[in-house]
Amino acid sequence: MIEVKNISAGYGKTEILHDVSFQAKEGKITTLIGSNGSGKSTLLKAMLGLIPWSGGDIMMDGLSVKGMSRAEIARRIAYLPQGKNVPDISAGRMTLHGRFPYLSYPRRYRESDFQIAEEAMRAMGVLELADRQMAELSGGMRQKVYLAMALAQQAPAIAMDEPTTYLDIGQQFKFAEMVKKLSESGKTILLILHDILLALKISDRIVAVCDGKIIQCGTPEEILGSDIIKELYGITVKPVRTEKGIQYYYE
C-alpha cells in the first residue's frame, strides 16, 4: 500500500501541491482525476522522488521513502510517464530496462534478468515482438511492451500517467482488461486519467485533485453521486445498467 501524508511539493519556489494526503491500496486501482495543471503529475513525481517535497511523509508498504535512493524507490513502484518518446531499440531491450533498479554499475544483465524480462513479455502477450523495433509497433503494442517493462521491474506497485493517450477505443478496452488483471494479481495500481468514463469503469477508488489539493476521495459510486465531476469538468455523467454491468455516459 502507498500512503501519502500531508505532502507539499512544487518546482523551485512555486508550490503546486498543498498538504496532500491519500492512500492507494494493494490489489486495487486508484485513479487521480482533475483538469490540466491541477497537480496530478506533480504528485506522482513527488512520490517517486523525482521532485522534492516538504512536510509529511510518503510510505510504501509501511516504509518511509525518506532517504531512499531512486533505485530503492523503483524497486517498490514502477513508473510509466506521460508522452514517452519512442526509443530506437527493440521491444526486448525495452523490457529489459525494467531490470535497471537491480543492476550495479556498469550495467550488465544477468541470466535471471533475461528470464524475468521474457516472462514479463509472455505475460503481456508480446514475446513474439521481442526483436521488433519499438518504432515499428502500434500504439497499443508499444503500451503492452511498456507494461511488460513495468512487470519486469517486479515492483509491488505500478504508477501510470495518462496511459491511454494515443490508444484507440479498442486498445483502451484491452488496456482496461490488462490493468484489471494486474490489480487482481495483487499489484497496487495508480493511474492518472482524463477519460472520466474509463476512470469510473475500472477504478476501485477515485481521487479528485484541484489546484494542488485533494478535494474528494471515494468509490466510483460515491464520486458519481456527488457534484465533483461537474465541478471539475462542467459535465454530467449518468450510469446505466446493462447485461455487461454498469456503463457510463455523458448527459
Q: Is 241 helix (H, G, I), strand (E, B) or coil?
A: strand
pLDDT at 143 over 80: yes
| Nearby residues of 135 by Cβ (< 8 Å), 6 or more positions away | 86, 88
CB distance 82 to 161 below 8 Å: yes
What pLDDT, in 10s, does the model give residues 111-141? 999 999 999 999 889 999 999 999 999 888 8
The DSSP letter of residue 83 is S
pLDDT tens-digit series, residues 29-76: 999 999 989 999 999 999 988 998 888 899 998 899 988 998 999 999
- Let me know: does 137 contact 148? Beta carbons within 8 Å: no
Task: Give the H/E segment covering residue 160.
Answer: strand 157-161
Cα distance between residue 32 and residue 44, in whole Å: 10
| Single pTM value for the model | 0.90
Cα dist. 183→161, 179, 227 in Å? 17, 6, 28
At which residue does the C-alpha cell 466510483 appear?
220
Q: Is the pLDDT of residue 245 over 90?
A: no
Rounded Cα distance, 250 and 235, in Å: 7
Give the whole-number percent of the chain exceeding pLDDT 70: 100
The size of the chain, in residues, is: 251
- Summarised one tens digit per residue, pLDDT across range 180-235 is 999 999 999 999 999 999 999 999 999 999 999 999 999 999 999 898 999 999 88
Question: To which residue does cell 513479455 refer?
Answer: 121
**Closest by CA position to 212, among listed 24, 34, 29, 3:** 34
| Phi then psi dihedrals of residue 203, to 5 deg | -85, 145
* DSSP at 90: B
Rounded to the nearest 5 percent, the helix, strand and coil shares of the chain are 35, 30, 35
Among residues 49, 1, 58, which one has the least CA distance to residue 24?
Answer: 1
What is the separation of C-alpha 164 from the centre of its chain, rounded to a whole number of angstroms?
Answer: 11
Higher-scoring residue by pLDDT: 57, 13: 57
Beta bridge partners of 29: 189
